[in-house]
Amino acid sequence: MNEEPSSFILNPTSDETGMRLDAYLAEHVDGWSRSRLQRLVENEDVLVNDRAVKSSYKLRDGDVVEVDLVEVPVARFEPENIPLDIIFEDDDLAVINKPAGMIVHPGAGVQSGTLANAIAFHFDLSEQSVEAQARGRVGIVHRLDKDTSGLIVVAKNDEVHEALSEQFRKRLVFKSYIALGHGPTEQNSGKDRGRDRPQHAQPSADEGRRHRPQCRHNLESA
């Protein structure tokens, strides 16, 4: 199918029994990524035998799959010609040096001047799903705070975005930060236990319980 109507019915063949529903849809619905199709299933815009199922549902002989391609709202931000410091780029991804002071994603009260606005202008997003663009992600795999400068990875298509996001979720990506400070220090290295909770939300720790450190830092004098 080159141009799918908004709603249609699919009849899996006997050779396709046992396939996951999302995998089956990915083979029969052109122009929609698997993650986007999974969202349709979650929203019950895909029915099997007139009932809602999960993306992991295994097709059976005689199943009737009804698909309603719900349109995703257009992007909430405009491409802007903002200069980018591109450290690396190929057909699948790019690595950008984000300056301090730049917000990564559009948000409440901020719809322009973000890294996402700049990426939308500089890169071809035709291979990225409309859903991803509508969320304002434009291939951005991870984030940095507004006041933090550093490298950000941008995926140019959904497949690379899903693969890189999985690596970040599984903590397979090593991240290193450098901070500048002024004044004397009591020690040159240590472990940070992470952000403290608000005082009223402090949990009571069991005696002898170990807390896993969040990161290690080393200090160098200049």
Q: Read off the pLDDT of residues 157-186 as tens digits, 9 standing for 90 and up.
A: 888 888 998 898 888 988 888 888 888 777
Question: Of 139, 118, 5, which Cα lies nearest the Cα of 71?
Answer: 5
More reliable by pLDDT, 157 or 198: 157
Highest mean pLDDT (candidates 30-44, 54-68, 123-137, 160-174): 54-68
Question: Of 133, 131, 141, which Cα lies nearest the Cα of 169?
Answer: 141
Q: Which CATH class is domain 7-68?
A: alpha beta
Residue 172, Cα to own-chain centre: how many angstroms?
16
Average pLDDT over residues 146-164: 90
Q: Read off the pLDDT of residues 65-104 as tens digits, 9 standing for 90 and up.
A: 999 987 654 445 688 999 999 999 999 999 999 999 999 8
Which sequence positions are flagged as catalytic? 145
Q: What is the CATH number of domain 86-169?
A: 3.30.2350.10
What whole-number distance in Å separates Cα of residue 31 and Cα of residue 12?
Answer: 20
pLDDT in the model for residue 58: 96
Average pLDDT over residues 41-60: 92
pLDDT in the model for residue 35: 81
User: Is 50 exceeded by the pLDDT of residue 204?
Assistant: no
Q: Read off the pLDDT of residues 127-138 as tens digits, 9 standing for 90 and up.
A: 555 555 555 567
Residue ranges per structural domain of the chain: 7-68, 86-169
What whole-number distance in Å separates Cα of residue 53 and Cα of residue 55?
Answer: 7
User: Is 80 exceeded by the pLDDT of residue 16?
Assistant: yes
φ, ψ for residue 89, nearest 5 deg: -155, 135
Average pLDDT for the chain: 79
Local confidence band at 36 (pLDDT 50, 70, 90 cut-offs): confident
pLDDT in the model for residue 25: 93
More reliable by pLDDT, 73 or 221: 221
Please say whether the beta carbons of 46 and 66 come within 8 A: yes
